[in-house]
């Protein structure tokens, strides 16, 4: 028997810029943000009139913090499951698109893997929020384009 969680993530790149998230991020960062959400990112228009997100000064720490939120949830969920029945398997389902899964706050890798060696979006501390070691079982949707 087991419990598999699905869609344990933020809804997207632009999801949750609430006052609660701001307060929790400022606590994580250890400082007050001067211009929220512009300190994270702001929409800019290129020479062709197409909008794109321009990174603010705390963008990478924001990505790291979001991964920490998901990691904390997964750790708490596992504890609830194991307290109810230690023999129940605990796991999750995610999509296979690790190179862009940071957009939804998910780091399903092992803490032994350092994504900052491979990806510009990962800070040196991003690896601390890999939750693979929390899982008894991991299922993945292998439909990522290459």
Residues 39-78: tens digit of each pLDDT: 999 999 999 999 999 999 999 999 999 999 999 999 999 9
Instruction: State the pLDDT confidence band at 142, using cuts at 50, 70 and 90.
Output: confident
State how far the Cα of 125 lies from the Cα of 116, in Å rounded to an integer: 8
Conformation bin of residue 59: beta by default, left when phi > 0, alpha when psi is -120 to 50:
alpha
pLDDT at 118: 98
CA 49 to CA 114: how far, in whole Å?
36
Inform me whether the pLDDT recorded for 145 exceeds 90. Answer: no
pTM for the complete prediction?
0.94
Q: Where are the domains of the chain?
A: 2-21+60-141
Does position 143 have pLDDT exceeding 90, yes or no?
no
Q: Parallel, antiparallel, or unpaired: how do β-strands 89-95 and 2-6 relate? A: parallel
48: number of Cβ within 10 Å: 5
Q: Which two tokens stand for residue 90?
A: 């605990």
* Position 146 confidence tier, pLDDT thresholds 50, 70, 90: low
Residue whose token pair is 């991003």: 126
Q: Cβ distance 76 to 84 under 8 Å? A: no
The 3-state DSSP class for residue 109 equals coil
CB count within 10 Å of CB 96 equals 12
DSSP 129: G
């Amino acid at each position: 028997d087991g419990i598999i969680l699905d869609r344990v993530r933020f809804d997207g790149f632009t999801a949750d810029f609430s006052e609660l998230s701001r307060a929790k991020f400022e606590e994580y960062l250890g400082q007050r943000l001067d211009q929220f959400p512009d300190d994270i990112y702001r929409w800019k228009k290129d020479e062709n009139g197409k909008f794109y997100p321009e990174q603010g000064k705390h963008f990478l720490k924001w990505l790291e913090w979001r991964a920490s939120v998901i990691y904390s949830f997964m750790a708490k969920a596992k504890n609830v499951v194991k307290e109810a029945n230690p023999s129940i398997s605990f796991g999750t389902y995610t999509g296979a698109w690790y190179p862009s899964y940071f957009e939804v706050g998910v780091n399903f890798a092992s803490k032994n893997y350092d994504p900052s060696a491979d990806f510009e979006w990962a800070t040196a501390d991003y690896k601390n929020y890999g939750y693979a070691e929390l899982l008894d079982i991991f299922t993945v949707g292998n439909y990522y384009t290459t």
